[in-house]
Amino acid sequence: MTEDNEISLAQPSSAPRTILVLGGGGMKGIAHIGVWKALEEAGVRPDAIMGTSIGALIGAGIASGFGWRELAEIARKLTKDDIVAINRRAVFFGGVREDAVFMGDHFRRYIESILPVKTFAEMKHPFRLNTVSLVSGDEVWFGTDCRQDVPVADAVYASCALPIYFPPLKTADGDYLVDGGVLDVFPVRKAEAWGAERIIAVDVGAEFLPPAEGFFERGMIAIHDRVLNLNLRDQRSRCLDGYDGPPMVYVRPRVGHLGGWDFDRTQFFLEEGYRATRQALKEQEAA
């Protein structure tokens, strides 16, 4: 992270009071849309949004002005083919030298096609997303009071570019950016640094469950996913254990047992995000 980016995170031009934090979790992140529906119905209007990976994609849609209905319609139409296009060179002999098993441009074009804005300046609400630089090893933030030197679709793609699956975003200055969840899949601490007085944090990350029978015979992708889940488990523990930041409404939809590539449970994800948010808000009121 550059010095300027660190300054902008610590000293924003205006500190939002309530920040909605949307974590990463693959297709489980569709639950974020149900969260937005429940917040709209409850009259809760966050002052800003922060997102990681799928949370960056959903967050960008919200910050661009989409309501839950528009987002739900996009989610229901989403198919695996919209996101996944096999990099056939990666499956040939010598394919280990390829940078990913899927084609990045295909996914990036999909992101561009669904977002109603091209630049961060066009967004209707303050918004930030994180990526990770493979050059510096630091988080790189884009959006309000942060970098805005790439199109929104490029920044969102980079935040979703999970290594091995999708190639890094190559920037004009020679950097290589990947999924923000590599370092911070649930950036509530960065929301605190932005000046939040209340955080609504949506956690759609995976549970670290015992592997299914035959799991390790599925190959390098399955092993990579297992290592990733270990990393994400530790991230969540560091984030939540002993949390002493501003008041937080913690929303944990019951999706952690499901896979991040499940394209057949869209309606369940929508409904579970809605249910979990209503419950979290009710518990907050009763406290």
- The amino acid present at 235, given as its one-letter code, is Q
Contact 181/24 with Cβ under 8 angstroms?
yes
Residue 247's φ and ψ, nearest 5 degrees, are: -50, 135
Q: Hey, how many other C-beta atoms are within 10 angstroms of the C-beta on 15?
A: 16
Q: Which of 53, 64, 133, 159 is catalytic?
A: 53
Catalytic residue among 179, 184, 203, 225: 179
Is 179 a catalytic site residue? yes
**CA-wise closest residue to 177 among 140, 210, 216:** 140
Q: Which residues are catalytic?
A: 53, 179
